[in-house]
């Protein structure tokens, strides 16, 4: 029977601990019901570095079963998300937790214990060099920070869950539910995973963070000229786009504009414009009942089929599927 250890620490996301416990608890109940037995399938323990209770990011005190040295051997170690307000704070917390726990994590990994990080706790595994040369994911808006800090990790930001060499990572915040289901499936099979998902009303078919991504990462920079270019693109979205005309408006060469744009956003101006059009279409699909033809015109496209292909490529959903899933009025 799978034994799970959940690593806790001050300022962890409370739902990242309790939500996972809920998934395993519901899986146990379904297991007991279908098997006609009283024995639990999953068991778990909570630990902290020093064995003392921790206080979550919402002030909830979490009692633990022991420290790292006295914890029972497990099949899996789960790490909940770090709550943070600034990038500097996140990196500092990940560094501190890694200092306290990295040797314990490395020893467990060497002993073939699965490691699973949710959301920002992928930074802890990266700090501990347990993600070096492995595929990983994290909260979608932290991609640039993560890649800059840990270039040796193969970041797959569009993935909701990654698994590589005995290490799993989940995407943003509520993806800990998806992680829980993935682990139920891994240890107990697809039937129990789907039954648990249906009981908890969790979408077991989610595989990507892409539909949830916004352009936040492309405007979080300090280049005023690029910001002006982005503002003009937004204001003139319905009009045909010409990069040379934009460069002329900004009194800069097209080549220089392209270079600075890539440095600031990690995108070419054309690629950014396409994402801006998709992002605007997403908002209109969410908040209005406009026809797709009207939406396509508002974002500067004339060919609906071409825009459908672009939208599907960027979100992995068709416009119709996106509206059905995310419309406020749905």
pLDDT for res 73: 80
Backbone angles phi, psi at 306, to 5 degrees: -65, -40
Confidence of residue 254 (pLDDT cuts 50, 70, 90): very high
- Domains by residue range for the chain, with CATH: 3-209 (3.40.50.880), 216-326 (1.10.10.60)
Q: Residue 145 pLDDT more than 60?
A: yes
Enumerate residues 6+ apart whose C-beta is below 8 A from 247: 253, 254, 256, 257
Q: What is the pLDDT of residues 308-325, one digit of tens each?
A: 999 999 888 999 999 988
In 3D, which of 138, 107, 95 has the Cα closest to residue 5? 107
Burial pattern 41-62, b for ≥16 Cβ within 10 A else e, equals: bbebebbbbeeeebebbeeeeb
Higher pLDDT, 211 or 106: 106
pLDDT value for 311: 93
Query: Which tokens in the block code for residue 57?
Result: 């990011």
Written as six digits, the tokens of 156 are 């797959």
pLDDT greater than 60 at residue 189: yes
- Cβ atoms within 10 Å, residue 96: 16
Q: Which two tokens stand for residue 35?
A: 């098997």
Contact 125, 146 (CB under 8 A): no
User: Is the separation of the CB atoms in 105 and 130 below 8 Å?
Assistant: yes
The mean pLDDT of the chain is: 90
pLDDT tier, 231 (very low <50, low <70, confident <90, very high otherwise): confident
- The whole-number pLDDT of residue 163 equals 96
The 3-state secondary structure of 261-318, one letter per residue: HHHHHCCCHHHHHHHHHHHHHHHHHHHCCCCHHHHHHHCCCCCHHHHHHHHHHHHCCC
HEC string of 65-117 equals CEECCCCCCCCEEEECCECCCCHHHHHHHHHHHHHHHHHHHHHHHHCCCEEEE
pLDDT tens per residue, range 39-92: 999 999 999 999 999 999 999 999 999 999 876 789 999 999 999 888 899 999
Residue (of 114, 148, 143) closest to 130 by Cα position: 114
Q: Does pLDDT of 275 surpass 60?
A: yes
pLDDT in tens, 294-310: 999 999 988 999 999 99
Choice among 4-8, 90-94, 171-175, 181-185 with the minimum mean pLDDT: 171-175
Confidence of residue 240 (pLDDT cuts 50, 70, 90): confident
Flag whether pLDDT at 239 surpasses 90.
no
DSSP, residue by residue, 204-232: TT--BSGGG--THHHH-S--HHHHHHHHH
């Amino acid at each position: 029977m799978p034994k799970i250890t959940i690593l806790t620490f001050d300022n962890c996301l409370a739902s990242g601990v309790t939500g996972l416990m809920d998934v395993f608890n519901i899986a146990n109940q379904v297991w007991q019901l279908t098997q006609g037995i009283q024995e639990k399938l999953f068991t778990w323990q909570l630990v902290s570095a020093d064995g003392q209770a921790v206080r979550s990011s919402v002030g909830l005190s979490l009692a633990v079963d022991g420290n790292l040295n006295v914890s029972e051997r497990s099949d899996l170690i789960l790490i909940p998300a770090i709550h943070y307000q600034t990038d500097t704070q996140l990196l500092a917390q990940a560094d501190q937790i890694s200092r306290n726990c990295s040797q314990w994590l490395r020893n467990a990994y060497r002993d073939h214990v699965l490691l699973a990080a949710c959301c920002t706790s992928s930074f802890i595994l990266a700090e501990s060099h347990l993600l070096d040369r492995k595929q990983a994911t994290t909260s979608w808006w932290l991609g640039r920070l993560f890649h800059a800090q840990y270039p040796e990790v193969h970041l797959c930001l569009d993935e909701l869950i990654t698994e590589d060499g005995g290490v799993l990572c989940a995407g943003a915040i509520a993806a800990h539910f998806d992680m829980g289901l993935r682990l139920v499936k891994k240890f107990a099979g697809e039937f129990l995973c789907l039954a648990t998902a249906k009981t908890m009303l969790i979408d077991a078919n989610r595989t990507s963070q892409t539909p949830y991504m916004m352009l936040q990462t492309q405007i979080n920079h300090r280049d005023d000229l690029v910001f002006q270019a982005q503002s003009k693109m937004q204001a003139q979205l319905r009009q045909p786009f010409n990069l040379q005309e934009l460069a002329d408006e900004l009194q800069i060469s097209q080549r220089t504009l392209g270079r600075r744009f890539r440095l600031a956003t990690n995108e070419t101006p054309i690629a950014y414009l396409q994402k801006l059009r998709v992002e605007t279409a997403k908002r209109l699909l969410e908040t209005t009942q406009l026809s797709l033809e009207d939406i396509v015109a508002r974002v500067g496209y004339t060919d609906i089929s071409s825009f459908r292909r672009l939208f599907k490529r960027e979100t992995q959903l068709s416009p119709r599927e996106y509206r059905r899933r995310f419309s406020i009025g749905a």
